[in-house]
Amino acid sequence: YTKKHSKNSFSLFSHELNKEIADKLTIERELKSAIRNDEFLIHYQPIMDLAAGKISAMEALIRWNHPELGMVPPDRFIPVSEESGQIIAIGKWVLYTACSQTKQWQQQGYAPFRICVNISTIQLQHPNFVQLVKGILEETGLEAKWLELEVTESILLEDTETLKESLLSLKALGISMSIDDFGTGFTSLNYLRQFSFDRVKIDRSFVQDINQDLSGKAITSTIIALAHKLGMEVVAEGIEDSVQLSYLVNELCNEGQGYYFCRPKSADQHDLLIMDK
């Protein structure tokens, strides 16, 4: 039994592993032509001002509309593009497209909101990144104060002097910075403050736990209170129901996003009536 069984499970395992490697190679190869073939698009998800009940920002979330694979979610191709270096070109496309769409919304007369763009560590470490951001703001005509870059905590594990310098030059452009998925890594809020982050986004796993147990409530309210004491604002990710929302409003969380308000969708699918003109 054991011999046969282990042999089978080994071949099953190696079959799955081969498939995973093959998929990854396909994705890496096809990514090369994705920009050229215009296969990327951005879905935008509103971030609400919880006290005012109005949109205060939009997060840009990339999608890949592959001719055979269909809609490929970012978790499947962003890590591959980071390994291959393709994230540099993809990230540039996202930044340019999101800034130019936001400028367009402003020109159409909608009350302005921030555009939040996810940036990978590889991009932030690229020597020309600050110049790139500056150039895109100039080209699109978007004022720096409407752009926010979201980075994850892993960035803070990097070489701190160079990192501090890039963050300071980015801040000097007048844009804002936030920490995404906060609470899943090992950073303290005080450390974030030293790097002059403006906002902390509470990871959606904690927001989901608000309904589950006392620790979800304890963790979210502690993050909110401490971030506020250190002069940072707080955004809650992944709000899916009114129980989570009222808890967060009560704890004075500044902003929130999630399916409860709106799913991410393309610019022209947004019901622009929810934005004030």
120 lies in the binding site for ligand C2E (CB under 6 A)? yes
Q: In angstroms, what CA-CA distances link 128 with 113, 132, 154, 198, 200?
A: 27, 6, 20, 23, 26
Q: Could you tell me which of 188, 184, 124 has the C-alpha nearest to residue 151?
A: 124
- Span near ligand C2E by CB under 6 A; candidates 2-10, 20-28, 112-120, 221-229: 112-120
Least gap, CB of 158 to ligand C2E (angstroms): 15
CB of 118 within 8 A of CB of 75? Answer: no
**Of positions 143, 240, 241, 249, contacts ligand C2E by CB under 6 A:** 240
In degrees and rounded to multiples of 5, residue 274 shows phi and psi of -75, -10
Which residue minimizes CB distance to ligand C2E? Answer: 258
Q: Choose the contact partner of 238 out of Mg ion, ligand C2E, none; CB within 5 to 8 A by kind.
A: ligand C2E
**Of positions 15, 32, 162, 259, contacts ligand C2E by CB under 6 A:** 259
266 lies in the binding site for ligand C2E (CB under 6 A)? no
Q: How far apart are CA 197 and CA 199, in angstroms?
A: 6
Query: Phi/psi zone of residue 238: left (φ > 0), alpha (ψ -120 to 50 degrees), beta?
Result: left
Nearer to Mg ion, 30 or 181 (CB): 181
- Span near ligand C2E by CB under 6 A; candidates 9-17, 48-56, 185-193, 236-244: 236-244
Q: Choose the contact partner of 216 out of Mg ion, ligand C2E, none; CB within 5 to 8 A by kind.
A: none
254 lies in the binding site for Mg ion (CB under 5 A)? no
CB of 234 within 8 A of CB of 224? Answer: yes
**Of positions 45, 86, 118, 257, contacts Mg ion by CB under 5 A:** 118
DSSP state of 111: P
Q: Could you tell me which of 190, 119, 197, 186 has the C-alpha nearest to residue 164?
A: 197
In degrees and rounded to multiples of 5, residue 241 shows phi and psi of -150, 170
50 lies in the binding site for ligand C2E (CB under 6 A)? no
Residue ranges with strand state E in 90-152 = 114-118, 147-152
Q: How many residues lie near Mg ion (CB under 5 A)?
A: 5
User: Footprint of Mg ion on this chain (CB under 5 A)?
Assistant: 118, 150, 180-181, 237
User: Footprint of ligand C2E on this chain (CB under 6 A)?
Assistant: 45, 61-62, 73-75, 78, 91, 94, 118-120, 150, 180-181, 204, 237-240, 257-259, 264
